[in-house]
Structure 1
């Protein structure tokens, strides 16, 4: 069995007001309560429960505010709090382990994360420099037809991100630098694809290749072996972005408790 992989949890706040926080009494999204606990507690709890995960580093502009959350102190494992920058890419670049050691990256609003999802992703990502967890639309809609996601259309399916990434340490720095220039368009699928070049955009528009082939080609631009890891659980791509997401997430937690 390989050594546990360190995890980075992106728990910062984006610029501007967050409608999720209106009337909540909390000042940052990571501490918004869902199903009885702060979002961040659910995510760190899932990571700490996975035997595949080692040290957990929580990145936020004001990490001391998150470190004061009492429920986090009750979780097992080695949890570190680190102040981050304003952007996702620059914060990740500063927190990467030395050399090419792999790291797992997820987000504080990935509240439905489970150890089984972590295991499925890391197993599928093992032979890559960069791996991205994604869910195909039919997998999600088969169980949650009311869920609304941002979809990328490729040959063989429509895909949505599942907020898990595996990066081979500092080999990923060129990709993170590139992402820093386009992350403001992260919810605009075609703009993201177009940023990798006209041939990738044309191939996506004409559905000339699968998303696995598209990600592999995008990785080659940076000399990286990149891959998509398809997730078998639709819940993997349901994060807490909008009030309607929280309603669905609360329902899923209730169903988990009932079972």
Structure 2
């Protein structure tokens, strides 16, 4: 199977990234670990997993220069991650793997396992890791957990857009993006019956995602990751300290 990958490395207009400031670089995609930038590490991981075409959504001049050095296509970012993915879909098509430039520990083997575990009928799939799996791999991590009947979950910044129908989920993605730290608001979009199931601890994450997909007209799937470190990205200075500790850099 031939597939492409998109690495999100956009910048919020006028905003200062505290992680980049902490590391002394213009953009966190340029932070170096073990001699390579985060962008280089992520690009190497997706290529190792089999991506034949790799693009980065970026506007920071230094990130663009680094992307060109790495032989990546450069696509202009849109108003946010979901809009950037929508724009990239028109260029790269499907199947498309989407990840982020701050996925510092990303490993090609994690991606390969994710793709192998995606149900064959899924238009869209996302990788998540259970809290016990994450904390076993990185006890010191502090995450925002999605609490459902089947456990507490953390996103792994890996999304698989398998079919052209996946484009229908972009609007849904933008809504989830806005409410990602407030799961009850995501569930509210499914109606009061499912919200009550959530509030009483009877709604599983897989069921919620499946229902959200139906609302968008696509088949969606949650894929559990056996790799706890797949949930570790670099959102805060403390995350960068943790990553440096984990790799001994």
- Do they superpose with TM above 0.5? yes
Separation (CA, whole Å) in 2 of partners of 1:98 and 1:27: 27
- SS of the aligned residue for 2:10 comes to coil
- The 5-angstrom pairing of residues 14-25 of structure 1 reads 14-15=12-13, 16-22=15-21, 24-25=23-24
2:85 to 79, 89, 92: 92
Cα offsets for 1:28-59 (capped at 9, x unmatched) = 22112234322111111111222x32200100
Deviates more, 1:20-29 or 1:131-140: 20-29
Aligned pair 1:231/2:220, yes or no?
no
- SS of the aligned residue for 1:158 comes to strand
Aligned pair 1:80/2:73, yes or no?
yes
Cα offsets for 1:219-256 (capped at 9, x unmatched) = 1111211110100010000000111111111122229x
Corresponding residue pairs, total:
247
CA contact (8 A) 1:151 1:189 kept: no
- Report the CA distance between 1:25 and its aligned residue: 3.4
Aligned residues: CA RMSD: 2.3
- Report the CA distance between 1:182 and its aligned residue: 5.0
Aligned pair 1:167/2:161, yes or no?
yes
TM-score by length of 1: 0.86
Cα offsets for 1:147-174 (capped at 9, x unmatched) = 1111111112111100000113441233
2:11 to 3, 13, 16: 13
Separation (CA, whole Å) in 2 of partners of 1:99 and 1:8: 8
Aligned pair 1:114/2:113, yes or no?
no
Compared CA separation, residues 26 and 99, structure 1 to 2 (3 A) = closer
Compared CA separation, residues 22 and 98, structure 1 to 2 (3 A) = closer
- SS of the aligned residue for 1:224 comes to coil
Compared CA separation, residues 199 and 19, structure 1 to 2 (3 A) = same
- SS of the aligned residue for 1:201 comes to helix
Partner of 2:38: 39
1:222 to 212, 216, 223: 216
Compared CA separation, residues 133 and 163, structure 1 to 2 (3 A) = same
Partner of 2:97: 104
Separation (CA, whole Å) in 1 of partners of 2:16 and 2:179: 18
Cα offsets for 1:166-205 (capped at 9, x unmatched) = 1134412332123334533333333233234333332222
Q: Which ranges of structure 2 fall in alignment gaps of 5 or more residues?
A: none
Aligned pair 1:137/2:131, yes or no?
yes
Compared CA separation, residues 93 and 81, structure 1 to 2 (3 A) = same
CA contact (8 A) 2:94 2:162 kept: yes
Compared CA separation, residues 95 and 251, structure 1 to 2 (3 A) = same
Separation (CA, whole Å) in 2 of partners of 1:209 and 1:189: 11
1:153 to 147, 150, 172: 147
